[in-house]
C-alpha cells in the first residue's frame, strides 16, 4: 500500500469513526475539523456539518452560467449537484477538484475542493470570530489555527444558502441542518 493509499484509508477511518460515536460521547469542549485546501488556500470544515468525504468521485459536467457548478454526481441512487468551493469563495478555478464532501441537510448537495490536509480536533475556545459570516457570500464562520497557520472555517449551511441564492431558489425552500 502506498503512502497516499494509507493516508486515504486513515482519513476515511477517522472520518467514519467520528460519525459512529454516540452523540453524547463527543467531548463538547472540542470541535472536529477537516483541514482542506480550495483554490490553493487553506480552509477547514466542521465534520458535524458534513455527511461524507469522497476522493476522485466522477462528476458529470453541466453547461450553464454558474462557474461554481461543476455538475452532477451519483450517491446511492441519488443524483446531487456538486459545487466547487474555490469558485464559490471567489478564487480563480485552475484545475478540477479531487475531493468531494457531502453537506448535511436537504436537498442533497456536494462541495468539491482540491486537497485534504487532515482531520483535527481543536478546543472550542480556540476558534475565534464565529459570530458573523465573512468572506465571499458570507460563508466563512470563524478561524482556527492549525499547524501554526490560521485557517478560515467554511460554514456548510451558509455555503448551502449561497448556492441556493446563486441558483435563484427562493429562501426557505430547503431544510438546512448544521
Asked if 152 and 167 touch (Cβ cutoff 8 Å), the reply is no
Kindly state whether residue 142 falls inside one of the protein's structural domains: yes
Residues 169, 26: Cα–Cα separation, whole Å? 35
Grid look-up 446563486 returns 166
Asked if 91 and 49 touch (Cβ cutoff 8 Å), the reply is no
Domain with 128, as residue range(s), is 3-166
What string of DSSP letters covers the chain?
A: --HHHHHHHHHHHHHHHHHHS-GGGS-TTEEEEEEEEETTEEEEEEGGGEEEEEES---EE--SS-TTEEEEEEETTEEEEEEEHHHHTT----S---EEEEESSBS--EEEESEEEEEEEEEGGG-B--SS-BSGGG-EEEEEEETTEEEEEE-HHHHHHHHHHHTTPPTTSSB---
Confidence bin at 147 (pLDDT 50/70/90): confident
Kindly state whether residue 175 falls inside one of the protein's structural domains: no
Q: Are strands 115-123 and 30-38 parallel, antiparallel or unpaired?
A: antiparallel
- In this structure, of 41-45, 122-126, 174-178, the range with the lowest mean pLDDT score is 174-178
pLDDT at 43 over 70: yes
Kindly state whether residue 173 falls inside one of the protein's structural domains: no
Query: Quick one: average pLDDT of 52-78?
Result: 92
72 or 176, which is more confident? Answer: 72
Kindly report the pTM of this predicted structure.
Answer: 0.78
Q: Above pLDDT 70, what percent of the chain?
A: 84
Per-residue pLDDT at 26: 52
CATH number for the domain spanning 162: value is: 2.40.50.180
Asked if 33 and 47 touch (Cβ cutoff 8 Å), the reply is yes
Kindly state whether residue 176 falls inside one of the protein's structural domains: no
| Structural domains counted in the chain | 1
Kindly state whether residue 172 falls inside one of the protein's structural domains: no
Kindly state whether residue 177 falls inside one of the protein's structural domains: no
pLDDT in tens, 86-140: 999 999 877 899 999 999 998 899 999 999 999 999 999 889 976 554 545 589 9
Amino acid at each position: 500500500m502506498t503512502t497516499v493509499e494509507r493516508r486515504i484509508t486513515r482519513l476515511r477511518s477517522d472520518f467514519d469513526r467520528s460519525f459512529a460515536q454516540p452523540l453524547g460521547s463527543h467531548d463538547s469542549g472540542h470541535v472536529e475539523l477537516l483541514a482542506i485546501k480550495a483554490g490553493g488556500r487553506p480552509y477547514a470544515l466542521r465534520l458535524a456539518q458534513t455527511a461524507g468525504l469522497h476522493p476522485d468521485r466522477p462528476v458529470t459536467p453541466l453547461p450553464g452560467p454558474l462557474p461554481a457548478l461543476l455538475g452532477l454526481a451519483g450517491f446511492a441512487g441519488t443524483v446531487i449537484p456538486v459545487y466547487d468551493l474555490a469558485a464559490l469563495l471567489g478564487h480563480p478555478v485552475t484545475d478540477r477538484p479531487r475531493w468531494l464532501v457531502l453537506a448535511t441537510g436537504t436537498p442533497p448537495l456536494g462541495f468539491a475542493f482540491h486537497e485534504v490536509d487532515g482531520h483535527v480536533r481543536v478546543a472550542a475556545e480556540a476558534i475565534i470570530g464565529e459570530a458573523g459570516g465573512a468572506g465571499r457570500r458570507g460563508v466563512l464562520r470563524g478561524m482556527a489555527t492549525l499547524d501554526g497557520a490560521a485557517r478560515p472555517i467554511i460554514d456548510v449551511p451558509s455555503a448551502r444558502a449561497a448556492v441556493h441564492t446563486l441558483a435563484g431558489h427562493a429562501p426557505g425552500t430547503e431544510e438546512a441542518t448544521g
